[in-house]
C-alpha cells in the first residue's frame, strides 16, 4: 500500500479573509485528483498546505502508510513535491537543474545521471539536457519543473496548473505523462486546473472547490 493523505476540516484565513473553511478529503494512493474552482477560491493554498509548505489555522493533515500515521518531518516532506505554475530555474544546464534535488539528498554521479536522463526522457527534454535552462521556452520550462519533481520519485506529486500558459502541443505532452503516471500506479497526482476538458480526460476524481470547501 502507498502513502495516503487524509485532510480533515482544514481552515485558512489571510488578514481576516477566510480562504478555506472546511476542506476534507481522503486521497487514496495512485490516483489522479483534480482541483477545480474559480480564481482565488483557494486551490493553490490547499496544495501548499497538503504539501506541508504552509500550515492551516485548524484542521488536520494526516499522512499514513500501512495504517500508521507519519510525522510531518523532513523525511515525509521529501516524499512529496509541489510544482508551481511558474517554474523557477537556476542559471545552469537543464540536467544540472534536474540533478539538484538528488544532490541535496546525497545522490550523485552515476545514479544521479541515470535518474536525470530518465526524467528528462519522460518529459521529452532528453535532447535539451545541455542547454541552459534559462533559454527554454515556457512549455519546456514547465516540463523541466515536472522532470525536477519526478527525478526524486515522489509518492505524491502536487501540480499547480501545470499547463497554464502552455500551448496545445506541450499541454498534450504534459497530459500524456500524467496519464502514464496514472497507468504506472507509482505516484498519486493532485493537480489544480481551470481546463474542464483536461479534468475530464485525466481525473479519477474531480474536487470542485467553492466557498472555501469542496462542494
Q: Which of 5, 27, 32, 43 binds ligand ATP (CB under 6 A)?
A: 43
For residue 80, with 0-12 CB atoms within 10 Å meaning exposed, 13-18 middle and 19 or more buried, which class applies?
Answer: buried
40 binds, among ligand ATP, Mg ion, none (CB under 5 to 8 A by kind): ligand ATP
C-alpha pair distances (Å), 41 with each of 46, 116, 148, 183? 10, 36, 28, 30
Cα–Cα distance for residue pair 67/105, rounded to 1 Å: 27
14 binds, among ligand ATP, Mg ion, none (CB under 5 to 8 A by kind): ligand ATP
Count the Cβ atoms, other than its own, within 10 Å of residue 178: 23
Cα–Cα distance for residue pair 148/97, rounded to 1 Å: 7
- Does 14 contact ligand ATP by CB under 6 A? yes
- Closest approach, Cβ 204 to Mg ion, in A, equals 21
- Does 36 contact ligand ATP by CB under 6 A? no
- Does 190 contact ligand ATP by CB under 6 A? no
Q: Where are the beta strands (DSSP E) in 73-116?
A: 80-83
166 binds, among ligand ATP, Mg ion, none (CB under 5 to 8 A by kind): none
Torsion angles phi and psi, residue 28, rounded to 5: -80, 165
39 binds, among ligand ATP, Mg ion, none (CB under 5 to 8 A by kind): ligand ATP
Q: Which of 36, 44, 163, 187 binds ligand ATP (CB under 6 A)?
A: 44
- Does 4 contact ligand ATP by CB under 6 A? no
Q: Which residues bind ligand ATP (CB under 6 A)?
A: 14, 19, 37, 39-45
Amino acid at each position: 500500500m502507498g502513502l495516503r493523505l487524509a485532510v480533515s476540516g482544514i481552515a485558512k484565513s489571510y488578514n481576516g479573509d477566510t480562504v478555506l473553511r472546511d476542506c476534507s478529503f481522503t486521497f487514496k494512493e495512485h490516483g489522479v485528483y483534480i482541483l477545480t474552482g474559480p480564481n482565488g477560491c483557494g486551490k493553490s493554498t490547499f496544495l501548499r498546505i497538503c504539501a506541508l509548505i504552509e500550515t492551516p489555522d485548524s484542521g488536520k493533515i494526516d499522512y499514513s502508510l500501512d495504517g500508521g500515521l507519519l510525522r510531518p518531518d523532513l523525511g515525509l516532506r521529501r516524499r512529496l513535491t509541489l510544482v508551481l505554475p511558474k517554474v523557477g530555474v537556476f542559471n545552469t544546464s537543464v540536467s544540472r537543474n534536474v540533478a539538484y534535488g538528488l544532490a541535496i539528498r546525497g545522490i550523485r554521479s552515476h545514479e544521479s545521471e541515470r535518474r536525470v536522463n530518465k526524467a528528462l526522457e519522460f518529459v521529452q527534454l532528453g535532447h535539451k539536457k545541455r542547454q541552459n535552462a534559462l533559454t527554454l521556452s515556457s512549455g519546456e520550462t514547465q516540463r523541466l519543473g515536472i522532470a525536477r519533481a519526478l527525478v526524486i520519485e515522489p509518492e505524491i506529486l502536487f501540480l499547480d496548473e501545470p499547463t497554464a500558459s502552455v500551448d496545445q502541443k506541450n499541454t498534450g505532452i504534459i497530459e500524456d505523462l500524467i496519464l502514464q503516471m496514472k497507468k504506472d500506479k507509482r505516484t498519486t497526482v493532485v493537480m489544480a486546473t481551470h481546463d474542464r476538458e483536461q479534468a475530464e480526460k485525466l481525473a479519477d476524481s474531480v474536487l470542485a472547490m467553492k466557498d472555501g470547501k469542496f462542494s
